[in-house]
Structure 1
Amino acid sequence: MCRNIHQLHNFEPPATADEVHAAALQYVRKVAGTTRPSQANQAAFDQAVAVITAATRELLDALVTSAPPKDRAVEAAKARARAERRYAS
């Protein structure tokens, strides 16, 4: 369920609002143990996603590093290569 949470810090261009929201949604899904909450829990689920999205954005804005920003395309290629090695038969 949480495999879609990726590192968001130190990329050029910076993480988008959609990426931050997707990570928060995956986190809440994992903690709640469900991908689709019941109607009775929908408001609490949505509130948690909003709070975690805001906290994640605040964290990303506050983090500093001396490392050069990573390139998304290069990191995606590395991940594909790792997956190919891992799942090669």
Structure 2
Amino acid sequence: MSAKPTLPVEALSLNIDSYVACTKCAEEVADIEPKISLQDYAAIDVGFTNWGLQVWCRRHQADIVHIDFGGAQLPADFRRLEKN
């Protein structure tokens, strides 16, 4: 992974268009009373593997998605933008 920042600082804000979630967590949270958000219910780990990037559900000990980079080393921006 590249250590040199490649994105404009504006890209470090929340820009997620499509969230990734465990389908089992989504099914379970729909039936919980009082209501709780999927974001608060889910227990997810995200990290790099030998193949790419993996999203793992700790609650169900299950793979949510594993993105294969196909051996490519993609640029990554690890700067931290904090809101006051």
Q: TM-score, normalised by structure 2?
A: 0.25
Which has more strand, going by share of residues? Answer: 2
Which has more helix, going by share of residues? Answer: 1
